[in-house]
Amino acid sequence: MNKIIEKLEEVIFGTETRAGKFFDVLLLWIIVGSIIVVMLESVQEIREQYGAVLDFFEWSFTIFFSLEYLLRLLISRKPVAYATSFYGVIDLLATLPTYIALFFAGGSYLVVIRAIRLLRVFRILKLTRQVSEAQSLVRALISSRHKIFVFLGGVITLVIIMGTMMYLIEGGENGFTSIPRSIYWAVVTITTVGYGDIAPHTVVGQAFAAILMLLGYAIIAVPTGIVTAEIAGEVLQREIQLRKEHKSCHVCDTDDHDSNDKFCKHCGTKL
């Protein structure tokens, strides 16, 4: 019995063995499948025609996730620790929506339930844990988080000021019906999204908008500069680290030799 549990633990929690790897990839595809089913169900024509098939898949996925969750609880050496961990909670929430939809069939409630169901997506993120590159990206973002917060604070201040000014300049008849809506326009403009659902009509407003755009053009450089310097800095540091691991000469103390140098390049002593 213990052997079966050990084996199962290796398959479900582990990622080193072949079976464990296969289970993880299978799980990933099932998660992707369940997301696609939810997506297809939201398209009216598909829902009307293939509603029964989609329902079948949805229930299959739900039952699979439920069994998987129970198995994880049973097998885990520290079930409470697992159940209260981030992924434990996500695993539980991923199984619930379909059941809840069963008892509370009211349409309006379903909307909220689907939002929870959506969290299933986070399980895909498990994948990224294996990719070491993701960590270096996240590290670069984390070490520049202060700069980015300051930058976002500045952008938000600018957007509030610009939005209020445009509300005063353009006014409600040109679509700038309130300050929050004008701020929404300022965000749409400074981020260069530019839907065009709200656009300045007066000459002063257009001149003002042009200034905001050119500002945004210069400002967009800042976050890029921050993140690039951070990533480039990490590359530089790795380079320096490598250099420091070089051999040093015991005679003349010169220490910047490459690891494959055989003789001191300063005094010719054998290393």
Instruction: Return the sign of the alpha-carbon dihedral for residues 199, 205, 210, 216.
Output: negative
Q: Pick from 26, 63, 74, 221: which binds its own copies (CB under 8 A)?
A: 221
Which member of 22, 63, 81, 253 binds its own copies (CB under 8 A)? 253
Tell me, by CB under 8 A, how many residues bind its own copies: 107
Smallest gap, in angstroms, from Cβ of residue 93 to its own copies?
A: 14
**Residues 61-100 contacting its own copies, CB under 8 A:** none
At closest approach, how far in Å is the CB of 169 from its own copies? 9
What is the closest distance, in whole angstroms, from the C-beta atom of residue 198 to its own copies in the complex?
A: 9
Ranges within 107-126 binding its own copies (CB under 8 A) = 111-112, 114-115, 118, 121, 124-125
In the set 22, 139, 180, 250, which binds its own copies (CB under 8 A)?
180
Minimum separation from the CB atom of position 249 to its own copies (A): 10
Contact between 6 and its own copies by CB under 8 A: the answer reads no
Contact pattern from residue 128 through residue 167 relative to its own copies, giving x for each residue in contact according to CB under 8 A and a dash for the rest: x--x-xx-xx--xx----xxx-xxxxxxxx--xx--xx-x
Which residue(s) pair with 270 in the sheet?
263
Neighbours of 144 (CB within 10 A): 20
Burial zone of 254 (CB within 10 Å; 0-12 exposed, 13-18 middle, 19+ buried): middle
State phi, psi for 262 to the nearest 5 degrees. -105, -25
Closest CB 202 distance from its own copies, rounded Å = 11
The answer to the question of residue 127 lying near its own copies (CB under 8 A) is yes
Does residue number 51 form part of the binding site for its own copies (CB under 8 A)?
no
Tokens 């598909």 -> residue: 46
The reply to whether 49 sits near its own copies by the rule CB under 8 A is no
Shortest approach of its own copies to residue 257 CB, angstroms? 6
Selected from 8, 12, 28, 35, the binder of its own copies by CB under 8 A is 35
| Tokens of residue 33, six digits | 């499948």
Closest approach, Cβ 60 to its own copies, in A, equals 20
Distance of alpha carbon 124 from alpha carbon 51, whole angstroms: 26
Helix (H, G, I), strand (E, B) or coil at 195: coil
Provide the 3-class DSSP secondary structure of residue 263: strand
Sole binder of its own copies in the list 56, 59, 99, 217 (CB under 8 A): 217
* Backbone φ and ψ of 212, nearest 5°: -60, -40
Rounded Cα–Cα distance for residues 248 and 244 (Å)? 10
Q: Give ∠ CA 168-150-143 in degrees, rounded to 5.
A: 155
Q: Which amino acid appears at position 214 of this protein? A: L
Nearer to its own copies, 4 or 235 (CB): 235
In the chain, DSSP finds a helix count (H) and a strand count (E) of 12, 0
